[in-house]
Structure 1
Amino acid sequence: MHPEIIEQAGYTSVHVDDTLARELFPGIRLRTLWQHPDGATAHVLEMDPGTSWPRRDVHEPGDEEVFVLDGVFHDGAREYPAGTFLHAPAGSWHIPASGPGCRLFVFYPTG
């Protein structure tokens, strides 16, 4: 078992397995790793094989940064394998999907 959340000397650490998985849509779960009072957040998004967002994912009010941890992420136009970094500016949109399933690290620098 991993420690839940540790905050020490300005550092925060949490193991992804110790976070609650909140189902956003069937087969798509969000695990919040960190939240800052200014609205910045860090998450792991899990998409089961064959899942997709039911509508456009619009990046508001700020940017979205994604790192594909494993699997293959599809943004509605292209596929991105594990190891890919994506930066989506505020106001842009995509329709997240995954054929084989994937896990993403998602960071929102502003709330």
Structure 2
Amino acid sequence: MHHEILEQEGYTSVFVGDAPVREPFPGIRLRSLWRGPSGASAHVLEMDPGTSWPRRDVHEPGPEEVYVLSGTFNDGARDYPAGTFIHAPAGSWHVPATSTGCTLFLFYPEG
């Protein structure tokens, strides 16, 4: 069977363990997977058990899309188990936290 190799402009992939990582707060790691020419971006956020954002996370200039990959994510008001999708519109905010630890896929459709 012949497999055509995809050589299309903009077609990229990254293994999450090889993605650039930074620690915005202790016990919270942000792995950057992709950034598009218009500023859209995709990330994996890993939060250790008992960690939280120290302040409001405001979604500006655009929305934030969250998919809980593992653990339980708390937005400061309620818990979201693995398998949950959250759309946070532009201008909204939450205070990310987790008691169990969690891994999230984050997508920002605007820069």
Report if TM-score (shorter chain) is over 0.5: yes
What is the Cα deviation at residue 24 of structure 1? Answer: 0.6
User: Partner residue of 2:76?
Assistant: 76
User: Partner residue of 1:67?
Assistant: 67
Larger radius of gyration: 2
User: What stretches of structure 1 move > 6 A for 4+ residues in a row?
Assistant: none
CA root-mean-square deviation? 1.0
What is the Cα deviation at residue 80 of structure 1? Answer: 0.2
User: Partner residue of 2:8?
Assistant: 9
* Cα distance per residue 1:6-39 (max 9 Å; x no partner): x831421111011122001000010000001111
Provide TM-score, normalisation by structure 2: 0.92
* Cα distance per residue 1:85-107 (max 9 Å; x no partner): 00000000000000010000000
**Match runs of 1:99-110 below 5 Å:** 99-110=99-110
More strand by share: 1
User: Partner residue of 2:23?
Assistant: 23
Unaligned runs of 5+ in 1: 1-6
Q: Distance in 1 between matches of 2:7 and 2:102?
A: 31
Q: Distance in 2 between matches of 1:8 and 1:80?
A: 38
